[in-house]
A and B are shown apart, each in its own frame.
Chain A
């Protein structure tokens, strides 16, 4: 049975994006349909403009990821989330806004092996969602 996995993340310098991408690859490995979405910045434009790395990564990320829409959460069987440790409020606000009762699974950052661990977490979340669905 096909599982729809929505990966929602908030990243400024690209580190949390890497985690989210790895979780997304894990979800694809587990044969899920995936959508990747980046949460909008809550910071004001001047703050972003003062951080060259943030500005540079934002330019790169904006075309690649739209922000999550309500229909994405409706579509999803499971939502994998990756929150920015420096600014958890974007994710907190998103989780509070969710209307549907869809399961959310936070992707934990394992400093020893972030990519392999995030991939495994993505796979496991999809496999768990598949079991629930069947």
Chain B
């Protein structure tokens, strides 16, 4: 079963400095029908104006992943981390017992476009931690590139998260295809980050999502004119 989540039906908040689309309920957008999917709780498509950002605020018991599409994001937190995130980099923070952080667009000119993802951890009260890694964009072309998961050892660098969930990113050119089997009893979420793709015959454009349950595989293809970039979540 594939349930589409069209981009234009998402929650939307335009604060001027922040233009955010919420696939699931977040902040002032509350829809009890869209509270998340399995352990995937938040998927925000955020654009932050130059020099602006999220001031210092707190989180508890959440795995928070940032995936930058364009621009850069400066991160500071109560663990003493101070980093700048750019495209082809992934940041993952385990809030656990509690962290305070801020995220800013350090550029005086360019906006930053990034996806903010929250996954509920399998257990509460874990020690807070921060991870960041860069990858070669060629690694996500034509295949699913693991970005975050519960595996202590991975072939390519990926963020460790405290949940039986994996996040992959991929870029497919127009007409390029990939197939990913889904283990029995597992679920998936696909989010089209930019461009156009098809998922098991359904067209997904920028911002569209889909919940997948009781299917044996994902068949994804890049659609015209330039294909697309997307995230796949493998969920328990």
Chain A residues close to B by CB (< 8 Å): 21-22, 24-29, 31-36, 63-66
A-B contact pairs, 29 of them (CB 8 A): A21-B56, A21-B100, A24-B58, A25-B78, A25-B98, A25-B99, A25-B100, A27-B58, A28-B58, A28-B59, A28-B60, A28-B97, A28-B98, A28-B99, A29-B60, A33-B58, A34-B100, A35-B57, A36-B55, A36-B56, A63-B51, A63-B53, A63-B55, A63-B104, A64-B55, A64-B56, A64-B76, A64-B102, A66-B55
Q: How far is the CA of A22 from the CA of B55 in the complex (A)?
A: 16
Chain A CB within 10 Å, residue with most, of B58, B60, B78, B102: B58
Q: How far is the CA of A127 from the CA of B148 in the complex (A)?
A: 35
CB proximity of B17 to chain A, nearest CB, Å: 11
User: In the complex the two chains form, is A24's CB within 8 Å of B55's CB?
Assistant: no
Please, what's the 1-or-0 string for B28-57, where 1 marks a CB less than 8 Å from any CB in chain A? 000000000000000000000001010111
User: In the complex the two chains form, is A36's CB within 8 Å of B60's CB?
Assistant: no
Q: Which residues of B contact A36 (CB under 8 A)?
A: 55-57, 100
User: In the complex the two chains form, is B102's CB within 8 Å of A34's CB?
Assistant: no
Q: How far is the CA of A35 from the CA of B54 in the complex (A)?
A: 12
Q: How far is the CA of A35 from the CA of B55 in the complex (A)?
A: 10
Q: Which residues of B contact A29 (CB under 8 A)?
A: 60, 97-98
Interface of B is mostly: strand
Q: How far is the CA of A26 from the CA of B97 in the complex (A)?
A: 9
B contact residues, total (Cβ < 8 Å): 16
Instruction: Other than A24-B78, A28-B59, A36-B100, give 9 A-B pairs with Cβ distance below 8 A.
Output: A27-B58, A31-B60, A34-B57, A34-B100, A36-B55, A36-B56, A63-B55, A63-B102, A64-B56
Closest chain B residue to A119, Cβ basis = B98
A65 and B99 in contact, given A21-B78, A24-B78, A28-B60 (Cβ under 8 angstroms) = no
Closest chain A residue to B52, Cβ basis = A63
User: In the complex the two chains form, is B56's CB within 8 Å of A65's CB?
Assistant: yes
Closest chain A residue to B100, Cβ basis = A24
Q: How far is the CA of A73 from the CA of B57 in the complex (A)?
A: 16
Q: How far is the CA of A27 from the CA of B51 in the complex (A)?
A: 29
Q: How far is the CA of A24 from the CA of B57 in the complex (A)?
A: 9
CB proximity of A32 to chain B, nearest CB, Å: 8
Chain A CB within 10 Å, residue with most, of B51, B59, B98, B99: B98
Q: How far is the CA of A65 from the CA of B78 in the complex (A)?
A: 14
Q: Which residues of B contact A63 (CB under 8 A)?
A: 51, 53, 55, 102, 104
Q: Which residues of B contact A34 (CB under 8 A)?
A: 57-58, 100
Closest chain A residue to B53, Cβ basis = A63
Q: Which residues of B contact A31 (CB under 8 A)?
A: 60
Q: How far is the CA of A64 from the CA of B100 in the complex (A)?
A: 11
Please, what's the 1-or-0 string for B95-112, where 1 marks a CB less than 8 Å from any CB in chain A? 001111010100000000
Q: How far is the CA of A38 from the CA of B145 in the complex (A)?
A: 42
Q: Which residues of B contact A33 (CB under 8 A)?
A: 58
Q: How far is the CA of A56 from the CA of B51 in the complex (A)?
A: 17
Q: Which residues of A contact B104 (CB under 8 A)?
A: 63
